Structure 1
Amino acid sequence: MTHTATQTLSVVVEREIPHPPEKIWRALTQPHLIEEWLMKNDFKPVLDHRFSFRGDWGAVDCQVTAVEPSKTLSYTWAAYGLESVVNWTLTPTKTGTHLRMEQIGFRPDQQQAYQGAKVGWQRFFASLEKVLARGD
């Protein structure tokens, strides 16, 4: 398989979560809840809304590209030369929700960002599950 300059890598995290999509959607879209599991932010679940995630290490510039309440959410994620997109997909199951996060757009020369995202999203998901388990 030949690697071309246009070929990008993705980070995918999938979880079965024992909560309804509506509840997970709130945790993905309400700024005070996002802050608890991800970062400080000025997010709004509104198409084309520009926002940022802020951490001790810096900030991520983002723009909402798709919003379908309790189903899908997408936004651009740009930081330190990384131009990527984060896609969230919520699928109802018998016991709760199948939550899938895919961050696409890592270039082959962005191994550090790619490896960092792989580790980071696992941690973020663990924090998200704690926020959900705690209840509203």
Structure 2
Amino acid sequence: MSFAPLLAAEPAVLLHALAAMTAFALGLVQFAAPKGTWPHRTIGWIWVALMAAVAVSSFWIHTIRLVGPWSPIHLLSIYTLGVLPLAVWAAHRHRVAAHRRAMITLFSGALVIAGLFTLLPGRIMHKVVFGP
């Protein structure tokens, strides 16, 4: 494993990947830690900011082009930017089930499933994990 391909990538890709990896790690902490505590809320706000950074930075990444410079992954970014404030609002309103559902959807869909596609041959993260 070598981070050299990632560190040599354009700034949007680097920001996107680092924010996604950090959000993944913090997401695991969030799922395992007690809920409703001040650490949960604090890490939650950091996680939301990281997910927003992942989604926004994706609009400067155009390696997969299906409709002009865009791909279906950009629809996921729009979805993420829409669901994040709804999930925060649900937590603020103490709608725990809606908050949990939104966060699990974002974590599993936007980070885990979409993240697995970055391991396909020819992608930067494939080079990081498996070598050139």
Instruction: Select the structure that is richer in helix.
Output: 2
Is this a same-fold pair by TM over 0.5? no
- The structure with the largest strand share of the pair is 1
TM-score, reference length from structure 2: 0.32
Q: Using structure 1 for the length normalisation, give the TM-score.
A: 0.31
